[in-house]
Amino acid sequence: MRIGELAQRTAVSERSLRYYEKQGLLYADRTPGGHRDYPDTAVDRVIRIQELFAAGLCSAKIVQLLPCMRDKDGGPSETATPWLVQELSVERARIDGMVEELLRAREVLDEVISAASSPHPPTTP
């Protein structure tokens, strides 16, 4: 499929898709004229990449991680090296920390929101 369709199906901008390719995260065949031609599996892959970006992993980490993932494309999955496993464990711990922080912040928001919804005036608890 072409980049436009992939962008639409993944809700990721064409700009980002080209960036992913430059970072080695995504591969595309080329038409004789040079236009990108993505396999169907690219959709899942892009979504997965976005998930990992959202989790705060940088391109460099993701590019190492991808070949170790059990993709739908049935590509020859590599096994993570011990070194990579350790890197990923660090990321995992970081994610746990982020989740905790998010929940704490959510509590703060909830407190303010519920205080505003309660009938008590601000100065008299």
DSSP code per residue over 23-41:
TTS---EE-TTS-EE--TT
Binding site for its own copies (CB under 8 A): 48, 51-52, 54-55, 57, 65, 68-70, 76-82, 84-85, 88-89, 91-92, 95-96, 98-99, 101-106, 108-113, 115-117, 121-123, 125
Closer to DNA at the Cβ: 28 or 65? 28
When CB distances are held under 5 to 8 angstroms depending on the partner's kind, the choice from its own copies, DNA, none that residue 19 binds is DNA
Instruction: Report in angstroms how near the CB of residue 16 gets to DNA at its nearest.
Output: 3
The CA distances from residue 79 to 10, 49, 54, 58, 83, in Å, are: 27, 18, 24, 20, 11
